[in-house]
Amino acid sequence: DPEMSRGLGDVYKRQKYISRYCNYAALVIILVALASYVVGKGDVFFGQFGIMVSIALLAIAAINDPTRK
């Protein structure tokens, strides 16, 4: 069914973008948390929260990675 194939292609493209943006977001959060500690402005809550959010984003990226088997 051509319509079904086209719809699955759209889902595949969305998964690729979701995976990519979650990876970028996790990297940015980790870098900001690290930079705040290096500068001396980091607090425990932000560091722990940033790491937890980064892990969640990386998990979402892994789940939505269309190349994963």
Check pLDDT > 70 for residue 1. no
Of 67, 69, 26, 68, whose CA–CA distance to 50 is shortest? Answer: 26
Token representation of residue 19? 């995976």
pLDDT at 9: 66
CB atoms within 10 A of CB 54: 20
Of 60, 44, 51, whose CA–CA distance to 30 is shortest? Answer: 51
Averaged pLDDT of the chain? 76
Percent share of the chain, pLDDT over 70: 72
pLDDT in tens, 28-49: 888 887 777 778 776 766 677 7
